[in-house]
């Protein structure tokens, strides 16, 4: 399969290859290729972040991903052929690797990285190898790939407004049958809406959504079929699991039931969030946001765009447990999402027929930015202003973002402590939000996750001296949870010391027993530079390590790596706790 790749000196590896092909002999062949040929492998920070998102979803279908990743990384680290560019920005990543001699990008058709190449069309001086179920397709430039292997045009089903259901309606005690022949009895009605009703079934794992007449179009049914074929069974996604028929006619689907209340009910200002979660601090808000972004990135990795991102389309149970709902309206492949919420949609798309075009990752980037601001500000819209225009629509069109980078003007910021939330955000997050909502800049979704992760790391490690930085609403007199910084830091240091002592005792016992394992890779790696850039650093995979450079910004090369002392044994590096 990969014989042609053996002629390259370097391969830029997209994470989609790991996710989509880890369960098979092809991935073993790829790992052996790197090892046997000594090919250098280049990845960016996005690679690591996407893997972490996959691990966090705990979807049974990804059971082989962690083992395959461990095997690949250990092999590359053992041979000193793993290189990391510390950025999440696709264009900057390409800029750093584009002039590598005899280099090839290895990706897949559905990969996020591939879609960014189609969207941004950066200049790359090597080849692009796209891994498909039938083999490799190799192109000699990004332009050639776009021209000869274009993304599918919108499905013709999008223009078919006929219906494929019948007058027969299933209700309580009726038996509906899945495509696979499984029978589900509708037991109790849970809820109803404009599209249909949701029932519990005799199988406690599933509920059934039964559509009203005149709702199931060929587009909707094709989309439901593709979603069931994805096989996503992680509990955080209320995706279709079985297609249902009643008297031989399509009628709905089964899904897992979510727990909690909608984000819109919780993130609706001080009263709502403090009523639902009175013990929350900023750390809980960050954890909620990280979990949500991770779920949307997981969908992106499966060729799915949520399309209609808004607070009503997710349930929250705890800060680490949320559920994406209304998944039957998403865009999958070239089957578009026909709906959208104007307040969360890029103004460039306003006025368009959502069912008439295929959205891009860049379109979704804006919605992710909206989600970041709204969650961090406990439900506030970024363009909500005091003394402003009569409608929110006018504020959005005029980019009337009421916050400044130097906090010099608070006149138009809504009352209730929102100015202090802004003041206590990390500088990099404020810059990203300001450039997005005041200047119209776009950041990739993974860049937002990286920035929020850095903020959360600071909160977890109690970097900030001011206890107000940990409150939901800093400098406000709301009845809310507070943090004793000195006390918590002392507890944290005590845990660190205890862990250090345990590790020293284990090392001492190991030394006494004189055990050695000659087949364990050292994990030591010294990264190399490309051209005059020094953005390659020693390999790190410890998630909690502070990152001095915000991966969202790539305007400056990273500082040169410190020299490695080869006289001392290098510490074994961990990879997301996998080894």
Task: Please spell the DSSP secondary structure of 101-130, one letter per residue.
Answer: TTEEEEEETT-HHHHHHHHH----SSEEEE
Q: What is the structure's pLDDT at 560? A: 35
- Contact present, 244 and 252 (Cβ < 8 Å): yes
Instruction: Tell me the chain's radius of gyration from C-alpha atoms.
Output: 25
Q: How far is Cα 176 from Cα 393, in angstroms, rounded to an integer?
A: 45
Number of C-beta neighbours around residue 475 at 10 A: 13
Confidence class of residue 546 from pLDDT cuts 50, 70 and 90? very low
- Contact present, 50 and 15 (Cβ < 8 Å): yes
Instruction: Write out pLDDT tens, residues 339-365.
Output: 999 999 999 999 999 999 999 999 999
Q: How far is Cα 363 from Cα 347, in angstroms, rounded to an integer?
A: 10
- Contact present, 10 and 40 (Cβ < 8 Å): yes
Q: Does residue 400 register a pLDDT over 90?
A: yes
Q: How far is Cα 79 from Cα 524, in angstroms, rounded to an integer?
A: 9
Percent of the chain with pLDDT over 70: 88
Domain boundaries, the chain: 1-151+522-579, 175-255, 273-470
Instruction: Write out pLDDT tens, residues 355-398.
Output: 999 999 999 999 999 999 999 999 999 999 988 888 999 999 99
pTM, whole model, 2 decimals? Answer: 0.87
- Contact present, 446 and 50 (Cβ < 8 Å): yes
Q: Does residue 551 register a pLDDT over 60?
A: no
Task: Please spell the DSSP secondary structure of 436-452, one letter per residue.
Answer: HHTT-----HHHHHHHH
- How high is the mean pLDDT of the chain? 88
Percent of the chain with pLDDT over 90: 75
N-term to C-term CA, the chain? 29
Q: Does residue 562 register a pLDDT over 90?
A: no
- What fold does the segment set 273-470 form as a domain? Transferase(Phosphotransferase); domain 1 (1.10.510)
Which residue's entry shows tokens 């944290």? 492
Instruction: Write out pLDDT tens, residues 484-511.
Output: 888 888 888 888 888 888 888 888 887 7
Instruction: Write out pLDDT tens, residues 264-283.
Output: 999 999 999 999 999 999 99
- What fold does the segment set 175-255 form as a domain? Phosphorylase Kinase; domain 1 (3.30.200)
- Contact present, 299 and 306 (Cβ < 8 Å): yes
Q: What is the structure's pLDDT at 514? A: 55
Residue by residue, what is the 3-state secondary structure of 351-362? CCCHHHCCCCHH
Instruction: Write out pLDDT tens, residues 452-471.
Output: 999 999 999 999 999 999 99
Q: How far is Cα 337 from Cα 359, in angstroms, rounded to an integer?
A: 8
Range 313-330 average pLDDT: 95
Which residue's entry shows tokens 């060929």? 218
Range 160-167 average pLDDT: 84
Side by side, which strands form the sheet with 103-108? 82-85, 40-44, 10-13, 103-108, 127-132, 135-139
Strands 175-178 and 242-246, how do they pair? Answer: antiparallel
Q: How many CA atoms lie within 13 A of 316 on its CB side?
A: 23
Which residue's entry shows tokens 């705890």? 318
Q: Does residue 405 register a pLDDT over 50?
A: yes
Could you tell me where the beta strands, DSSP code E, fall in 336-402?
none
Instruction: Write out pLDDT tens, residues 114-159.
Output: 999 999 999 999 999 999 998 899 999 999 999 999 999 999 999 8
Confidence class of residue 568 from pLDDT cuts 50, 70 and 90? very low
Q: Does residue 570 register a pLDDT over 70?
A: no
């Amino acid at each position: 399969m990969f014989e042609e790749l053996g002629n390259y000196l370097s391969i830029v590896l997209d994470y989609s290859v790991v996710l989509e092909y880890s369960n098979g002999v092809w991935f073993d062949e790829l790992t052996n290729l790197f090892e046997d040929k000594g090919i250098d492998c280049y990845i960016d920070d996005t690679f690591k972040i996407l893997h972490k998102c996959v691990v966090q979803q705990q979807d049974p279908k990804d059971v082989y991903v962690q083992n395959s990743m461990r095997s690949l990384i250990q092999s590359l680290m053992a041979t000193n052929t793993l290189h990391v560019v510390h950025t999440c920005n696709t264009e900057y990543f390409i800029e750093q690797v584009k002039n590598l001699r005899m280099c090839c990008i290895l990706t897949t058709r559905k990969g996020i990285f591939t879609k960014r190449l189609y969207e941004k069309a950066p200049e790359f001086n090597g080849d692009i190898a796209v891994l498909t179920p039938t083999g490799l397709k190799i192109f000699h430039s990004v332009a050639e790939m776009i021209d000869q292997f274009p993304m599918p045009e919108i499905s013709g089903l999008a223009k078919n407004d006929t219906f494929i259901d019948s007058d027969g309606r299933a209700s309580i005690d009726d038996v509906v049958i899945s495509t696979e022949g499984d029978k589900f009895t509708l037991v109790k009605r849970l809820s109803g809406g404009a599209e249909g009703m949701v029932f519990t079934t005799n199988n406690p794992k599933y509920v059934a959504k039964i559509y009203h007449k005149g709702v199931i179009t060929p587009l909707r049914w094709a989309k439901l079929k593709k979603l069931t074929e994805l096989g996503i069974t992680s509990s955080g996604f209320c995706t279709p699991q079985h297609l249902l028929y009643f008297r031989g006619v399509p009628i709905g689907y089964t899904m897992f039931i979510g727990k909690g209340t909608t984000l819109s009910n919780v993130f609706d200002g001080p009263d709502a969030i403090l009523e639902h979660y009175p013990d929350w601090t900023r750390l809980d808000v960050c954890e909620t946001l990280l979990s949500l972004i991770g779920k949307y990135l997981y969908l992106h990795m499966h060729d799915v765009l949520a399309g209609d991102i808004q607070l009503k389309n997710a349930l929250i149970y705890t800060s680490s447990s949320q559920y994406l709902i209304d998944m039957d309206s998403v865009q999958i492949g070239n089957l578009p999402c026909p709906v959208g919420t104007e307040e969360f949609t890029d103004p460039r798309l306003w006025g368009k027929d959502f069912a008439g075009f295929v959205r891009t990752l860049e379109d979704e980037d804006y919605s992710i930015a909206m989600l970041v601001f709204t969650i961090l500000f406990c439900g506030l819209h970024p363009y909500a202003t005091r003394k402003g225009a009569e409608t929110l629509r006018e504020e959005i069109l005029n980019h009337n973002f009421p916050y400044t980078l130097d906090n010099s003007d608070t006149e138009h910021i809504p009352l209730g402590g929102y100015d202090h939330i802004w003041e206590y955000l990390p500088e990099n997050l404020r810059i990203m939000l300001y450039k997005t909502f005041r200047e119209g800049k776009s950041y990739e979704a993974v860049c937002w996750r990286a920035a929020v992760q850095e903020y959360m790391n600071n909160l977890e490690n109690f970097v900030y001296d001011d206890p107000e930085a940990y409150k939901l609403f800093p400098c406000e007199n709301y009845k809310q949870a507070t943090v004793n910084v000195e006390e918590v830091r002392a507890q944290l240091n005590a845990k660190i010391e205890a862990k250090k002592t345990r590790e020293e005792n284990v090392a001492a016992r190991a030394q006494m027993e004189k055990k050695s394992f000659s087949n364990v890779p050292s994990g030591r790696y010294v990264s190399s530079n490309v051209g005059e850039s020094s953005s390659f650093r020693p390999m790190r995979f410890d998630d909690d390590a502070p990152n001095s450079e915000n991966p969202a910004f790539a305007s400056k090369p990273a500082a040169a790596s410190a020299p490695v002392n080869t006289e001392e044994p290098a510490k074994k590096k961990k990879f997301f706790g996998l080894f």
